[in-house]
Amino acid sequence: MMRTSKRPAILASLTLVSVIALVPAAQAERSRQATVSNSNGRTATATRQVGIDNGSVTRNGSIQTGQGKGATRSSQAGYDSTTGTRYRNGSTTTNAGRTVSSGTTASCANGVCNRTGSVSTSDGATAGRTVTRYRDETGGYVKDAEIYGPEGQTAARTVARDGQGTKTTTATGPDGNSRSRTRWVVVED
């Protein structure tokens, strides 16, 4: 009869757990890949890789077909603690070489919250939006939004609420003409 000791297995398990526990929790990475095919012989492969490093999340992925068509996508999102800004940037590139890039930022400081976003293409077209939210000198809520298009045209919209049931919306089109609308909400007992 042969005897085996459980001690080496237990020690090996404890060593492995210790090594895993010492890996920084601020870093992690995960990858996936899948391939599909149909009865006509066509195939497609999708890959995705997600990494986390000190609060920043990076995603890379691609979809490729057996016929040479496909695209790759990469993005990064996180929080910059020195500026107090949350950000997200990304780009998609097709196998034909066309690229679309996007980026957004959001931050709040001194009672004013800002959010900006833009999209640009490889042929130079850019469009975007900026939104600012704050309380005015009377304590009313104000939301200012401005959008701009690839030809340089802009449009704006301001929503002001006085906290008493009045909401005023002012919109300015690319031609510079403005229109305003006020609504009241009355609550009676």
Q: Edge-to-edge, what's the strand order for the sheet holding 112-121?
A: 27-37, 43-53, 56-65, 70-80, 85-94, 99-109, 112-121, 126-135, 141-148, 154-161, 166-172, 178-184
- Overall pTM surpassing 0.85 (yes/no): no
Q: For residue 9, what pLDDT is reported?
A: 55
The residues, any chain, with a CB within 8 Å of residue 178's CB and separated by 6 or more, are 170, 171, 172
Per-residue confidence (pLDDT) for residue 1, from 0 to 100: 45
Residue 53's pLDDT is 87
pLDDT for 10? 60
Low-confidence ranges of the chain (pLDDT < 50): 1-2, 4, 18-24
pLDDT value of residue 70: 94
Q: Which residue has the tokens 């780009």?
A: 91
59, 3, 52: which is closest to 24 by C-alpha? Answer: 52
> What integer pLDDT is reported at residue 134 of this predicted model?
95
Confidence (pLDDT) at 81: 87
Q: How much is the pLDDT for 16?
A: 52
pLDDT for the residue numbered 54: 82
Query: 150-169 burial, b for 16+ CB within 10 Å, e for fewer?
Result: eeeeebbbbebbeeeeeebe
**Contact present, 165 and 184 (Cβ < 8 Å):** yes
Q: Which amino acid is at 137?
A: E
Specify the DSSP class assigned to residue 122.
T
